[in-house]
């Protein structure tokens, strides 16, 4: 079994505790510091109509409920979605390097968003909501193109899927760059979006993404057993009684839609989908029935902490959180790889 001192601790307890800590820290940090004690009391008072005593300025409640909390919840959902879909892609491709970028979904969503910005849609009647919708359409179109390119007869071999994903990602990125060069006034926002730094403000994006997130991640949590079987290869999985083609299609569609929603509302954020499931696998083993729900929790935690760094390190200026995840995530991932060479996690 996994030989690690962390693996002795109950995984759900550890991860939920860390998530709560991350949420409190994320809400506390900002131009105005909100003491965790005050935040917890204010939250409990409002959620359960309690009357916990405490002394805090009146504007704390405004800051928490109209700025900090919706931002934190959107970040939380984004991290959860990216990590859980990353875990699902890794299981499907039996490849520790698989993530939403590998099959082009994230690039497709990015192209959709930048197209909307280049055409100056944000200044039209429907306003900023056209960006997520356009990103969503871009992601779904990319999946369809990649999936059909990869199709050989009735089957979708994973190698051709990854190859066509990479090719389509290169193609969509090229169009994205071209659009950005030709749209000077929107270019700054487009760059910020592609760097993973434009979570939208307020409760509207949270409410708009929540149904997709809940459905997407909920379904991913039910796909653990098919993903476990696929670790033995597609032939063995089928011989053990799994409808392999149907399972693969379900995993691809659900994971891609989950990714698309995350990208739509928060921009292109890398490495969460790669590093988080990998860490969890090292600590608590390869069972996807547990790994996916844990990825939901730990992905949220990780992105909340990354977001704290993004808002704090150059404050009052806010860094795109995608830069933070890449700067910390990439070396971290290399460290994991070097350290893990001798051991088998797959």
Partner 1 sequence: MLSIQDLTIFYGNTKVVKEVSLDAAPGEIVASIGPNGAGKTSLVRGVSGVVDIFSGVIHFDQTDLNQLSPPARARLMAVVPQVSYVGGAFTVEQAIMMGRTAYMSWLGKPSEEDFYQVEQAMLHTKTKVLAERRIAELSGGEQQRVMLARALAQNTPLLVLDEPTNHLDMQHQGTILSLVKEQTAKRDLAVLMVLHDLNLVSLFADKAALMVDGEIMAFGKPEEVLTGEIVNRAYQTEVEVIYHPKTNHPIILHQNNGVMKGNNNDAQ
Asked if 102 contacts 88 with a C-beta cutoff of 8 angstroms, the reply is no
**Residues found near partner 1 in the complex (CB under 8 A):** 1, 94, 222, 224-226, 228-229, 231-236, 238-244, 281, 285-287, 289, 344-346
| Residue number with CB closer to partner 1 (127 or 233) | 233
Helices (H), the chain: 11-28, 36-48, 59-62, 69-93, 105-118, 130-150, 158-181, 187-194, 203-221, 224-230, 234-239, 244-266, 272-284, 288-312, 321-340
Question: What is the C-alpha separation between 346 and 338, in angstroms, rounded?
Answer: 15
DSSP state of 232: T
Residue with smaller CB distance to partner 1, 122 or 286 = 286
Q: CB of residue 211 vs partner 1: minimum separation in angstroms? A: 22
Nearer to partner 1, 91 or 199 (CB): 91
Which CB sits closer to partner 1, 241 or 316?
Answer: 241
| Residue 99 vs 234, nearer CB to partner 1 | 234
In contact, 346 and 286? CB cutoff 8 Å: yes
CB–CB of 259/81 below 8 Å? yes
Handedness of CA 147, 153, 157, 159 (dihedral sign): negative
Least Å distance, CB 90 to partner 1, is 12
CB of 152 to partner 1, least distance (A): 11
CA distance 61 to 333: 39
> By C-beta, is 2 or 45 nearer to partner 1?
2
Contacts of 276 (CB under 8 A, 6+ apart): 79, 83, 86, 87, 295, 298, 299, 302
State the nearest-atom distance from the C-beta of 254 to partner 1, in Å: 13
Of the two residues 79 and 86, which places its CB atom closer to partner 1 in the complex? Answer: 86
The count of residues in the chain is 346
Between CA 20 and CA 59 the distance in angstroms is 23
Query: Residue 287 CB, nearest distance to partner 1 (Å)?
Result: 7
188 vs 246, which CB is nearer to partner 1?
A: 246
* Distance in Å, CB of 343 to partner 1, minimum: 9
Q: What are phi and psi of 152, to 5 degrees?
A: -120, 105
Smallest distance, partner 1 to C-beta of residue 346, A: 6
Cβ(217)–Cβ(82) below 8 Å: no
Half-sphere exposure of 147 (CA within 13 A, CB side): 16
Nearest C-alpha neighbor of 278 from the set 215, 338, 196: 338
Contact between 319 and 310 (Cβ < 8 Å): yes
Burial class (CB in 10 A: 0-12, 13-18, 19+), 329: buried
Least distance from partner 1 to the Cβ atom of residue 342, Å = 12
Question: Of 225 and 339, which CB lies nearer to partner 1 in the complex structure?
Answer: 225
Tell me the closest approach of the beta carbon of residue 52 to partner 1, in angstroms.
40
């Amino acid at each position: 079994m996994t030989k690690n001192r962390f693996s002795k601790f109950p995984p759900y307890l550890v991860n939920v505790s860390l998530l709560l800590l991350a949420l409190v820290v994320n809400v506390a940090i900002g131009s105005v510091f909100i003491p965790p004690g005050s935040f917890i009391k204010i939250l409990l008072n409002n959620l359960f109509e309690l009357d916990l005593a405490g002394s805090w300025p009146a504007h704390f409640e405004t800051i928490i409920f109209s700025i900090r909390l919706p931002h934190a919840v959107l970040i939380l959902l984004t991290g959860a979605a990216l990590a859980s879909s990353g875990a699902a892609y890794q299981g499907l491709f039996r490849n520790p390097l698989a993530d939403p970028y590998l099959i082009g979904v994230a690039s497709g969503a990015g192209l959709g968003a930048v197209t909307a910005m280049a055409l100056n849609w944000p200044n039209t009647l429907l306003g900023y909501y056209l960006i997520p919708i356009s990103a969503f359409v871009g992601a779904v179109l990319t999946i369809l193109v990649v999936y059909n390119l990869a199709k050989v007869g009735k089957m979708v071999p994973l190698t051709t899927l990854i190859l066509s994903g990479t090719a389509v990602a290169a193609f969509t990125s090229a169009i994205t760059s071209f659009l950005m060069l030709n749209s000077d006034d929107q270019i700054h926002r487009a760059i910020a979006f592609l760097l993973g730094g434009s979570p939208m403000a307020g409760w509207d994006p949270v409410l708009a993404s929540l149904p997709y997130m809940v459905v997407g991640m909920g379904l991913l949590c039910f796909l653990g057993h098919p993903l476990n079987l696929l670790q033995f290869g597609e032939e063995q999985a089928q011989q053990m009684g799994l409808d392999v083609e149907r399972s693969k299609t379900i995993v691809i569609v659900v994971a891609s839609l989950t990714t698309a929603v995350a990208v739509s509302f928060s921009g292109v954020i890398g490495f969460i989908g790669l590093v988080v499931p990998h860490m969890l696998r090292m600590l608590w083993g390869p069972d996807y029935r547990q790994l996916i729900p844990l990825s939901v929790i730990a992905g949220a935690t990780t992105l909340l902490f990354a977001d704290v760094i993004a808002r704090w390190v150059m404050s009052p200026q806010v860094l795109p959180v995608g830069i933070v995840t890449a700067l910390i995530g990439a070396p971290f991932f290399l460290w994991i790889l070097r350290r893990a060479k001798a051991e088998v996690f797959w």
